[in-house]
Structure 1
């Protein structure tokens, strides 16, 4: 009855009101008879008879006759069935054809090359029952059979398995739970067939009419969605929001629009569905759900509970300054903790005292914020619950962790679908725990800049190549950074990192084939300088300077004496500097030693005068006397000048090699320029050494009353080799300056040969100033050989290179024209 009134049923089925009452009263009895296929009023008894064997033998005989192309009529078929029944020892009444049709045509059509079809009779006359070889009759039979066995049960079609996750029919038929996230996805991102989609054709019972689902129905009714899983339409609003008031309609909700009769009367059914109160209420519920899902603050609970919203805003106002203080400390490298811990009672006692001391930097900054007028924060600290103040060390660590996750998420979002290189170095913290610092170098597509971003510290208990490589690969896997996008590795030159067999770079290259290993170029330059400073005179000079600097820095009295000598200068000697103190030699960065040596050379005369004061009187010191004689030696003076002037050419290159946005081409160019400068120094040895280095050393000697000379052990070495003893200028040029310069050139070439990598040189040829002199065809062959898997359209590469070459030529020509016009 579906909730219809008795008068409505009377008008619908054209029967009397008494009949309707009687049927409704005996509804359970009728349903039971229908389900058990029984009628209690029928007195005839049916004999239990198993027709399985009879059917099987009759069917086998039928197939055998048809394979012999013997025509079989209905009468012959019935007679044969009676003969087989007598052999089986029983009697029956058979309507064989109707039974076979009811169970499906596959039980009637044999698997043979001879086409067989059954034409269904419209009455019970045996003469109308016959078999035919006509293929058209066979097709007609299949359609009729399919229509005759049509049931109300939904069948799985699953014509588009790839759309199941966005198909409402898939979830309904499989009785899967639908959470809010999935519900929102089904509402906003459900399957939408295009105009090329092939909807199934459905036929009427007499096979005279056909209907198809129309895509215009979906366009005209936004609530209607199509399910390829069952090839039918649903009202998505009513299906997902059933718990609304109103009479629920069966079509479009419990049953999809998928049958011929549904499609024939679609317009009427759809209009009735739209006008129903159930559909209107479910549509309102759908709109409310989408709005509150996008903005949870608009939910009914949030809108009704104003007090809850006020508490949320108040908590945000309290947490904001706490988070900002932690961010400020992190940016300024200020520790959150101080020299002692404080309890909450201690904090409340000093929170209103202006000149009170705080135990931690975090509380001090918090107090400063309160003193600046943040009354809400003051009230929170003074009156808030002790277990909800959000200022404990554990909460601070949680906030720091949340900030790390947020920053990491931003970095990973920028790195997404980008090529990147990994930069790893080992460091030890104050607790002597070994950890790896992991950074990424990549190209930011939004800002068009090369970025280097620090990701994390990874604690490790072992520094073997295998352990470090596993930690790096696990981190990349955890954060969904694809291995094939990793195109570079940058570590130090240790054997555990740079080894070609068991080193970290070799093991990572097995997983990331394109990840070429590169040693830090500035580190390589530093190592080249260390190796070059192994010359005896240069090594002794640096050792003497280090001892002199430590001599002064170890005593406040000596530093005061040196400072006084510098500031009380009365013009007794030449002074060309404003520097007031010495700078220590860096133990690791030898390039930075140039600053110390340059400062030492500028303060050379004040240093000598101060050491001379400590040789006599009450300030007498035996160490000062030894250092005085060492520093007033001409070999030390000339070695200091040689080191200072040659290192001054390396320092600018070192700074440029540390720029974040530096590319291989620029780095290669800087190194080539440095080598070219040194080669010019070598070719112009006599002029450069005499005019620049020796002249400066000679001025110092005149001020210090030092005579240029060759050391005694150097003279003995020359005599042992039967070499002539020349003047000091020629000796130090040939035995100190030139060897030091040649060592620098050789070691720089050896250490920075990684910049001459074949791939790097090939990519440099794509630069505008280089490609204009290249042949595109040859360049195409080399690029395809090295980067075949990275080029999306290899066949178009030659044309692209030709266009790029022409563009670069035009740009350079335009630049030359501007210069001429300027």
Structure 2
């Protein structure tokens, strides 16, 4: 740690970060930051690895030499630049998904914008990758190496065996385009498959509150919701559609600045608009991401440390609840009174 810190202070004295970030196994937003920071501090990483590779500690020197060899590989430098380019665009989405109070509507809008941007890069792949390749060549010069395409063989089954001697063409076909296609595929499978459900819920939130009017398309979407959640709806379709029209009239009198579902749900009276209230409650409770559970996994190592390795399941659950609900005020006297009800050999006293 001290070696990389000295290298960063030497080569990047004005840098805001003085150390690299680890790849967090649970929180993806940390992976964005780690990739972007590594791409920025790559010369300092090389200098630190070169220093460690000359240590007398054989294990550390051998590991540093292996990492240094991987650092100089063309595929690593190209992959790092490609990830940095894409992750710089997806980083706002990753940070937004960490918020506790997000709804499916806002999340889908950001995902749709990100997908459109990545598709533009995919369409202009020739120009985009030319910029990435030039940046990789610049970094290769700083690391005293060069970008080269791997050799081709007559029979290859473990990697792409593209018939070209041009490094730029090879890495565009073997790395850049597959990564973009995979990224778009993951966006579709993880987020955009909710679009059909979201389109139906949009009828509950008018685009304009001043002149909101129910259209024929919105009525059809509303009927789709009524049919899908028929077990939760207590009234008939005709009465529910009439309630939708009255809800739009009510929205005209509301001064809601944003189209967040939670704001409309707060303004929707349960007794006056029971159907709309139920559907809005469903919308705001639809899971967008797993950030909350990711935080719990990240906190687990602080709850169950080496000294608490024999912690029972009940105690661990109680510690997790205390860690989750930190806003609650715990009265130490009440806790001791509760514990004192059970006979113990140790006497509890307030200091």
Q: TM-score, normalised by structure 1?
A: 0.27
Across the two proteins, how many residue pairs are aligned to each other? Answer: 244
Aligned counterparts of 1:800 and 1:638: Cα–Cα separation in 2:
58
Shift of the 775–625 alpha-carbon distance from structure 1 to 2, 3 Å rule, reads same
Structure 2 unaligned runs (5+)? 258-351
2:246 corresponds in structure 1 to 800
1:666 equivalenced with 2:91 (yes/no):
no
1:261 corresponds in structure 2 to none
Q: Which of 745, 752, 756 lines up with 2:191 in the alignment?
A: 752
Aligned counterparts of 2:35 and 2:224: Cα–Cα separation in 1:
49
Q: How far has the Cα of 1:641 moved from its partner? A: 1.2
1:613 corresponds in structure 2 to 51
Aligned counterparts of 1:741 and 1:730: Cα–Cα separation in 2:
16
Shift of the 576–729 alpha-carbon distance from structure 1 to 2, 3 Å rule, reads farther
Shift of the 745–728 alpha-carbon distance from structure 1 to 2, 3 Å rule, reads same
Q: Which of 218, 230, 245 lines up with 1:779 in the alignment?
A: 218
Q: Does the 8 Å contact 2:149/2:165 carry over to 1? A: no
Structure 1 unaligned runs (5+)? 1-558, 812-822
2:90 corresponds in structure 1 to 650
Aligned counterparts of 1:657 and 1:721: Cα–Cα separation in 2:
35
1:589 equivalenced with 2:31 (yes/no):
no
Aligned counterparts of 2:113 and 2:194: Cα–Cα separation in 1:
13
Shift of the 644–795 alpha-carbon distance from structure 1 to 2, 3 Å rule, reads closer
Q: Which of 574, 577, 590 lines up with 2:15 in the alignment?
A: 577
2:8 corresponds in structure 1 to 566
Q: Which of 78, 102, 123 lines up with 1:638 in the alignment?
A: 78
> Deviations along 1:94-134, whole A, 9 cap, x unmatched?
xxxxxxxxxxxxxxxxxxxxxxxxxxxxxxxxxxxxxxxxx
Aligned counterparts of 1:753 and 1:765: Cα–Cα separation in 2:
18
Q: How far has the Cα of 1:739 moved from its partner? A: 0.3
Shift of the 702–656 alpha-carbon distance from structure 1 to 2, 3 Å rule, reads same
Aligned counterparts of 1:712 and 1:588: Cα–Cα separation in 2:
37
Aligned counterparts of 1:770 and 1:668: Cα–Cα separation in 2:
19
1:763 equivalenced with 2:226 (yes/no):
no
1:602 corresponds in structure 2 to 40
> Deviations along 1:245-265, whole A, 9 cap, x unmatched?
xxxxxxxxxxxxxxxxxxxxx
Bigger CA radius of gyration: 1
Q: How far has the Cα of 1:667 moved from its partner? A: 1.5
Q: Secondary structure at the match of 1:679?
A: helix
Aligned counterparts of 1:800 and 1:604: Cα–Cα separation in 2:
61
Q: How far has the Cα of 1:703 moved from its partner? A: 0.9
> Deviations along 1:786-819, whole A, 9 cap, x unmatched?
33725694363464377479889xx9xxxxxxxx
Q: Does the 8 Å contact 1:715/1:725 carry over to 2? A: no
Q: How far has the Cα of 1:770 moved from its partner? A: 7.5
Shift of the 613–802 alpha-carbon distance from structure 1 to 2, 3 Å rule, reads closer
Q: How far has the Cα of 1:784 moved from its partner? A: 4.2
1:363 corresponds in structure 2 to none
Shift of the 785–615 alpha-carbon distance from structure 1 to 2, 3 Å rule, reads closer
Q: Does the 8 Å contact 2:21/2:34 carry over to 1? A: yes
Q: Does the 8 Å contact 2:4/2:45 carry over to 1? A: yes
Q: Does the 8 Å contact 1:576/1:602 carry over to 2? A: no
Aligned counterparts of 1:615 and 1:636: Cα–Cα separation in 2:
19
Q: Does the 8 Å contact 2:212/2:249 carry over to 1? A: no
Q: Does the 8 Å contact 1:562/1:606 carry over to 2? A: yes
2:263 corresponds in structure 1 to none
Q: Secondary structure at the match of 2:171?
A: helix
Q: Which residues of 2 match residues 16-415 of structure 1 at below 5 A?
A: none
Q: Secondary structure at the match of 1:765?
A: helix
Q: How far has the Cα of 1:592 moved from its partner? A: 2.1
Aligned counterparts of 2:212 and 2:171: Cα–Cα separation in 1:
45
Aligned counterparts of 1:617 and 1:657: Cα–Cα separation in 2:
43
Q: Secondary structure at the match of 1:796?
A: helix
Shift of the 582–779 alpha-carbon distance from structure 1 to 2, 3 Å rule, reads closer
Q: How far has the Cα of 1:686 moved from its partner? A: 1.7
> Deviations along 1:462-510, whole A, 9 cap, x unmatched?
xxxxxxxxxxxxxxxxxxxxxxxxxxxxxxxxxxxxxxxxxxxxxxxxx
> Deviations along 1:317-362, whole A, 9 cap, x unmatched?
xxxxxxxxxxxxxxxxxxxxxxxxxxxxxxxxxxxxxxxxxxxxxx
2:293 corresponds in structure 1 to none
Shift of the 807–581 alpha-carbon distance from structure 1 to 2, 3 Å rule, reads same
Q: Which structure has more strand as a fraction of its residues?
A: 1
> Deviations along 1:614-634, whole A, 9 cap, x unmatched?
334756722222222111112
> Deviations along 1:658-713, whole A, 9 cap, x unmatched?
3233222111111111111111111121222222x223212111111211101236
Q: How far has the Cα of 1:738 moved from its partner? A: 0.8
Give the root-mean-square deviation of aligned CA atoms.
3.6
1:625 corresponds in structure 2 to 65
Q: How far has the Cα of 1:714 moved from its partner? A: 8.0
Shift of the 778–656 alpha-carbon distance from structure 1 to 2, 3 Å rule, reads same
Q: How far has the Cα of 1:716 moved from its partner? A: 6.7
> Deviations along 1:142-161, whole A, 9 cap, x unmatched?
xxxxxxxxxxxxxxxxxxxx
Aligned counterparts of 1:726 and 1:770: Cα–Cα separation in 2:
57
Q: How far has the Cα of 1:745 moved from its partner? A: 0.6
Shift of the 675–770 alpha-carbon distance from structure 1 to 2, 3 Å rule, reads farther
Q: How far has the Cα of 1:754 moved from its partner? A: 4.8
